[in-house]
Amino acid sequence: MALSAAFSFSLIASLLVALVIVATQRLHGHFTHDHHPGVQKLHAVPTPRIGGVALFFGAVVGGINLPAEAQWLWWMICLAALPAFVFGLTEDLTKQVSVKMRLIATICSGLIFSILTDYQIRETDLPGVDWALSFWLVSFLFTAFAMGGSANAINIIDGVNGLASGTSIIIMGGFALVAWQMGDAQILGICLVSMGSLTGFFLLNFPSGRIFLGDAGAYVIGFILAAVAVALPLRNPALSPLIGLLALSYPVTETMVSIHRRMKREGTHPGQPDRLHLHSLIYRSRARRLAAKLGAPHLRNATAGFVMLSLPLLSSGLMVIFGKHTSGIWASLAVVVLAYLLVYRKVALLKRREPRPLHTRPQTSTGKARPKGLV
């Protein structure tokens, strides 16, 4: 009963704050709207990007309603998340915090988490890596960098309506199910509060895109996902230490592919945004056609997000099935990464229809122009 109340109160608090933000945006839009037309942006109407504030209130209200035994760990996670939240919110309001500073902030959150909880990644079932992680300093720093990377991975997939929040809800739901199976009420409560806060925001973000997570929201929820991914196998030794990596395999794969792509392309660097994320390609190809077939072209953005949620569903489902078996997790990781790469290659090579001058445009049997140009 207490856990269901924590979920419900976090959802209600998050939803109410999100509604207030949307209803009062004329008063604060100068600071909170996403005015800058970045190359990776897929929306046209200025929208509040401080959804992280709604998540914050949901986390606090839900945390107060957690059972006493779960509150200590929850508040330690929230305290550790403050650097990521503060620097992310500052960027949301000022648009003047560098990518480097935000990355450092998320890593600092990981350092604080390790200090406060003494939870660190100490094994991976890889002989050479596990030897290195046996040294406290190596394990301490590795945990911080891994958690900072997870926070930034969620930020990278935050590009279409419902994708980052929906992905996080699905992954957190997978963690909750595993925690329930293991009898870990503390982690289960933390997952439910996180899911409640995310769901309250999600109701206004999907499908209409009335509010965005912003950097604060994406960094914090990515950090909390990482905290659960680290703590869950440490608290339950029967689980594989790689369970969190499988759960987060979609955003992690997106991040690694993006870094590789930007390093290979002339004139770009890993921290530079582009329009070549998988969700961006889906938006410009499959989602457009699917939304048109459904008779709802205005839902093209949400359609792209909905299609992309198949990847976290796949990884989270495999995590629940193979959570105790490292060999099964390695095989599952291969399946998720291969699925991502195959889909990416397919949509990246799709051609789109481009109008040509009437006197040179060849026609198909339906009277439409033939495809031209890469996505």
Torsion of Cα atoms, 288 then 290 then 295 then 297, to 10°: -20
Q: What's the whole-number mean pLDDT along residues 360-370? A: 43
Q: What pTM did the predictor assign?
A: 0.88
Q: pLDDT (tens digit, 9 = 90+) per residue, 30-87?
A: 888 876 555 445 555 788 999 999 999 999 999 999 998 889 999 999 999 999 999 9
**Structure tokens of 309?**
């949620």
pLDDT of residue 42: 55
In this structure, what DSSP letter does residue 294 have? T
pLDDT of residue 268: 66
- How are the residues of the chain apportioned to helix, strand and coil, as percentages rounded to the nearest 5? 70, 5, 25
Contact 263, 239 (CB under 8 A): no
In this structure, what DSSP letter does residue 118 have? -
For the chain, what percent of residues have pLDDT higher than 70?
Answer: 88
Q: pLDDT (tens digit, 9 = 90+) per residue, 88-134?
A: 999 999 989 999 999 999 999 999 999 999 999 998 888 889 999 99
DSSP 226-287: HHHHHHHHHH-TTS-TTHHHHHTHHHHHHHHHHHHHHHHSTT--TTS--S-SHHHHHHHTHH
Rounded Cα distance between 138 and 118, Å, is: 14
pLDDT of residue 34: 76
**Arithmetic mean of pLDDT over the chain:** 88
Amino acid identity at 127: P
Residues 6+ apart with CB under 8 A from 252: 149, 150, 153, 245
Rounded Cα distance between 179 and 175, Å, is: 6
**Secondary structure of residue 329 in the 3-state scheme:** helix
